[in-house]
Structure 1
């Protein structure tokens, strides 16, 4: 049985990597998937087929997000879910927090936090009109570990958890559930070639109850669950999906 049949779900930052994996999994469960990214998502859209549609969108820009959401509504007529996946990570160079340039700190916050805020705000009217919706914001297991050298990224993902809790409190009466997923270090396309990948992979594997590399596919079941009716009485939660590295 397709658990997401008839639902339309937006996945941000899904032209490749973890976001693309989410989009594939949601489509396999029957959802129409709207994919946005700052790069052209046409390749993953073509791979998924008629269940997918996509466009270029800067999640940190109010007008860009509004235009994308309007296009989704025009094409599919509804928005049932949002996966706030877009974020800056693998392009960052690890360094002590006092050496991080203020402009770079702001850039990470702009995409990782404001992007989450802008996209959630943009889909609210459509969800409120239906009296139902699912928002899943992607945080990170680094929030619980305080990963050295990545202060801007860790701070941004901590803010995502805090924002998600407020959103869950405010939107519950509208029938909108808001939850957070905190992945562990995941060997996605954009991360494999990162200078710090090998070291972080080894450190994380050693800390896990399930001592192996985490792959994008390891997150799909959780995303599908949180987007389905199976999780309708869950809101305001942060679920660490990392092979048992974090226990909270």
Structure 2
């Protein structure tokens, strides 16, 4: 198991897809820091994870520089390095779908602060720890909503488009330090988290547009994440990998 004993940080890991990422990593033997604004949720998820690895909960607001720096200080004292970072935290399930001209300044700014500024702040704060690893990998979680041009939440689509672009530049700038940066770009994925962003009719239409005619779940993403974090992808950087059941981009 190439992830055994590695130190991996997963943001937004208290529930949903982030919790699934953390669960698989613990099963693979990694020490996983579940970083989330919901400290109690992260602790509950961490305590539920079984496997040869370890799970630790930490309260983090990715939109705040001081919070990211505090995490860096904690990780420095606790481990001295970070082998992997999964920038998963994002505002999505609570979005109220509306035409883009009805999105308020406050909605736009808060979403961008978490979805786009957050990964930039966190990679910047953890950079010395990533440099201290022999094989560090950053995985930014994008979205195939960018390619689909999904309507109703333009600010989300724009934020994930920014994440995709950020990956390309980060990979270029961090390559000299041996740090890899890639994007995992999910298509529609359904979790236990209630969502106002997709109606039942939209869900069925998206499944019908896939080559694999079934709904995707969190476990459909974890294998690709393990690959991107592991040594098997040691020569892969600056790439975007879509995991979408063969969804047709129209």
Question: In structure 2, do the counterparts of structure 1 residues 195 and 165 end up closer, same or farther at CA, with 3 Å as the change threshold?
Answer: closer
User: Structure 2 CA distance, aligned partners of 1:246 and 1:112?
Assistant: 25
TM-score by length of 1: 0.95
Q: Take 1:223 and 1:156, find their aligned partners in 2: how far apart are those partners?
A: 21
Matched, 1:187 2:177: no
Aligned partner (choices 146, 150, 163) of residue 149 of structure 2: 146
Match of 1:204 among 187, 203, 206: 206
CA RMSD, 1 decimal: 1.6
TM-score by length of 2: 0.94
Q: Secondary structure at the match of 1:189?
A: coil
Equivalent residue, structure 2, for 1:43: 44
Aligned length, in residue pairs: 246
Cross-structure match for 2:247? 245
Structure 1 residues 8 and 222, CA gap change in structure 2 (3 angstroms): same
Structure 1 residue 246: Cα displacement: 4.6
Deviation at 1:76, TM superposition (A): 2.6
List runs of 5+ in structure 1 lacking aligned partners: none
Supply the distance in 1 between the matched residues of 2:136 and 2:247 (Cα, whole angstroms). 30
Partner residue, 1:235: 237
Q: Which residue of 2 aligns with 1:57?
A: 60
Post-superposition offset of 1:193: 4.5
Matches of 1:22 and 1:225, distance apart in 2: 12
Shift of 1:129: 2.9
Cα separation, 2, equivalents of 1:118 and 1:221: 27
* Inter-partner Cα distance in structure 2 for 1:214 and 1:119: 28
Name whichever of 133-142 and 120-129 sits farther off: 120-129
